[in-house]
């Protein structure tokens, strides 16, 4: 999987991600309140965590009574960290979301959650078709991605309507890490959902929370004026195969 974008980055970042994911304001006080606000009750439900990272959501589903949790990530280090958080209570699979998820049965999940992961994939046709196959009828897909306006602005792009690979560099206490991801216009976020049997129930652009303001007042001021992430809840209304 080494040729995949940001594979090396996440192998490098895994321990750092695990150390900070519980408390980092961007996750704890911005991304997670957004995603959690879109989740249905998971008690007794079967859940797929697609791009599980260090396993924060996997653990949350277990703690909130999900009946069966399956988690997927392409980074071996992230997979190990999720296994550590989840113990034997989740099935954690090393897999690339660009490819069909053959290990996961059709119509087996009530909920699929994919926080901050899909912008690492150029083509959303395969993952959306797979999410449709894996979900039960009327099942829900909830995901968050970089906001297309934010990347357009921050990276000074010329053409809002192109889908393009962007290069970034993130500062960590262990040094700089090169990260790449794709920016696409809003229409290219919505189209693969429509083409693959989903109807959008809710799209939100939330504000950072008061806890965020307390932790990082300057960033809070900026993020209340410029969206960072976009959050969508969609329902599978049609089986496409």
Ligand X SMILES: C[S@@+](CC[C@H](N)C(=O)[O-])C[C@H]1O[C@@H](n2cnc3c(N)ncnc32)[C@H](O)[C@@H]1O
- List interacting residues with ligand X (CB under 6 A): 4, 6, 10, 21, 51-53, 56-57, 73-75, 78, 96-98, 115-117, 120-121
Alpha carbons within 13 angstroms on the beta-carbon side of residue 50 total 29
Q: Which is nearer to ligand X, 4 or 190 (CB)?
A: 4
Query: Which pair of tokens denotes residue 65?
Result: 């009574």
Report whether 168 contacts 180 (CB < 8 A).
yes
Minimum CB separation of residue 203 from ligand X in Å reads 18
Beta sheet of 198-204, edge-to-edge order: 90-94, 68-73, 46-50, 109-115, 135-146, 229-236, 198-204
Minimum CB separation of residue 8 from ligand X in Å reads 10
Q: Which is nearer to ligand X, 5 or 160 (CB)?
A: 5
Report whether 48 contacts 111 (CB < 8 A).
yes
Minimum CB separation of residue 148 from ligand X in Å reads 17
Report whether 229 contacts 145 (CB < 8 A).
yes
Q: Which is nearer to ligand X, 160 or 172 (CB)?
A: 172
Minimum CB separation of residue 158 from ligand X in Å reads 26
Report whether 74 contacts 4 (CB < 8 A).
yes
Q: Which is nearer to ligand X, 103 or 238 (CB)?
A: 103
């Amino acid at each position: 999987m080494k040729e995949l974008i940001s594979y090396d980055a996440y192998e490098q970042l895994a321990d750092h991600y695990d150390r900070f994911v519980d408390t980092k304001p961007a996750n704890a006080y911005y991304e997670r309140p957004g995603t959690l606000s879109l989740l249905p009750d998971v008690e007794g439900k079967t859940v797929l965590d697609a791009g599980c990272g260090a396993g924060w959501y996997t653990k949350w589903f277990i703690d909130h009574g999900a009946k069966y949790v399956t988690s997927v990530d392409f980074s071996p280090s992230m997979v190990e960290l999720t296994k550590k958080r989840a113990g034997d209570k989740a099935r954690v699979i090393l897999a690339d979301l660009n490819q069909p998820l053959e290990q996961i049965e059709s119509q087996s999940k009530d909920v699929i959650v994919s926080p901050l992961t899909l912008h690492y994939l150029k083509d959303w046709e395969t993952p959306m078709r797979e999410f449709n196959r894996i979900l039960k009828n009327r099942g829900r897909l909830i995901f968050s991605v970089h906001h297309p306006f934010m990347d357009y602005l921050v990276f000074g792009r010329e053409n809002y309507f192109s889908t393009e690979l962007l290069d970034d560099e993130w500062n960590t206490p262990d040094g700089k890490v090169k990260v790449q991801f794709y920016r696409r216009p809003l229409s290219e976020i919505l189209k693969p959902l429509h083409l693959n049997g989903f109807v959008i129930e809710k799209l939100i652009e939330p504000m950072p929370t008061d806890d965020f303001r307390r932790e990082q007042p300057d960033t809070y001021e900026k993020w209340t004026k410029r969206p960072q992430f976009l959050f969508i809840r969609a329902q599978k209304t049609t089986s496409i195969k």
